[in-house]
Amino acid sequence: METVKKIVIVDDEEAKRAGISLMISGAPDIEVLSDFSNQKNLFDFLHDETRANPDIILLDMDFRNESHTEGVEITKKIKNEFNNIEVIIVSAHFNYPFYAREKNEKTGIDESYSIIADAINAGAKGFIDSKVNGCLQQDIIRGIHCIASGDNYFFNVPVLQIIVKAFLQFATKKTAEDIKTIAERYNLDDIDLEYLNLLSKGEKAETNASELSNKFKGNTPKEKNAMIKWTNRIQETIAKKLGVPNRATLILMKAINIGLIVPE
């Protein structure tokens, strides 16, 4: 019998809390303990020793009566006080147009993207865009299962390279020999490793396919659509070797966690 994952939902919108609770409550191995509209009520609950603490908190990023980085601050506080509780950000953060006009002075990156990286650095193990139509239920449930098993989960975040940079801040520098040993453990060849390297740079699929084909000449396809299909098959194979779903974000997070992608 599978272990039941205990969940708490934190969002200032009552309708959203109720909707998410309804979506995931039908899963046989998920139990929603409670939901809260603000961090005070959340931490009152977490500090109540008569109650069972959650395994995972589904947390919004933005709260109307607080700052737009409230989710980051709550994540930091959760991880500081309850390190065994994991956090998944469930937010429509990228759908607010005013964020795109704000730039980080040091990096020039849209501030909304930087805030997501800040949440990851604060300890969040996943991010799900709550505005994605038709797949929110399955992706929240999948995210809960992923994180409960020790992995990370990022769905529909259009800033893959920002996430990679955030995770690489915690990565340990490895030698080429170290990487070769890890690759052999997972049966990854030179083409697999180069594809992971290209994927981590956040380039378009067409660019990755072209660079990979140019580097490994021989029987590799040259026509654009054929090259993309070829690299798609490579990604699918890498996902199977690493034991993760075939999503670029999950593949990269696994590769970083095991030391295949390291800071430059």
Q: Which domains does the chain have, with CATH numbers?
A: 5-168 (3.40.50.2300), 176-258 (no CATH)
Instruction: Tell me which of 57 and 161 has the higher pLDDT.
Output: 57
CA-wise closest residue to 191 among 223, 160, 249, 233? 233
pLDDT at residue 176 above 70? yes
What number of other Cβ atoms are within 10 A of residue 164's Cβ? 22
Confidence of residue 133 (pLDDT cuts 50, 70, 90): low
> What pLDDT sits at residue 211?
85
**What is the Cα–Cα distance from 58 to 195, expressed in whole angstroms?**
32
Q: In what order do the strands lie in the sheet with 5-10?
A: 30-36, 5-10, 56-59, 86-91, 126-129, 153-155
Q: Which residue has the higher pLDDT, 4 or 102?
A: 4
User: Ranked by mean pLDDT, which of 35-49, 88-102, 199-213, 245-259 comes out on top?
Assistant: 35-49
pLDDT value, residue 56: 97
Residue 257 has a pLDDT of 78
pLDDT band at 86 (very low <50, low <70, confident <90, very high): very high
Is it the case that residue 66 has pLDDT exceeding 50?
yes
What is the pLDDT, as a whole number, of residue 40?
92
pTM for the structure as a whole: 0.64
User: What's residue 85's pLDDT?
Assistant: 95
**What per-residue confidence (pLDDT) applies to 99?**
39
Mean pLDDT of 41-62: 92
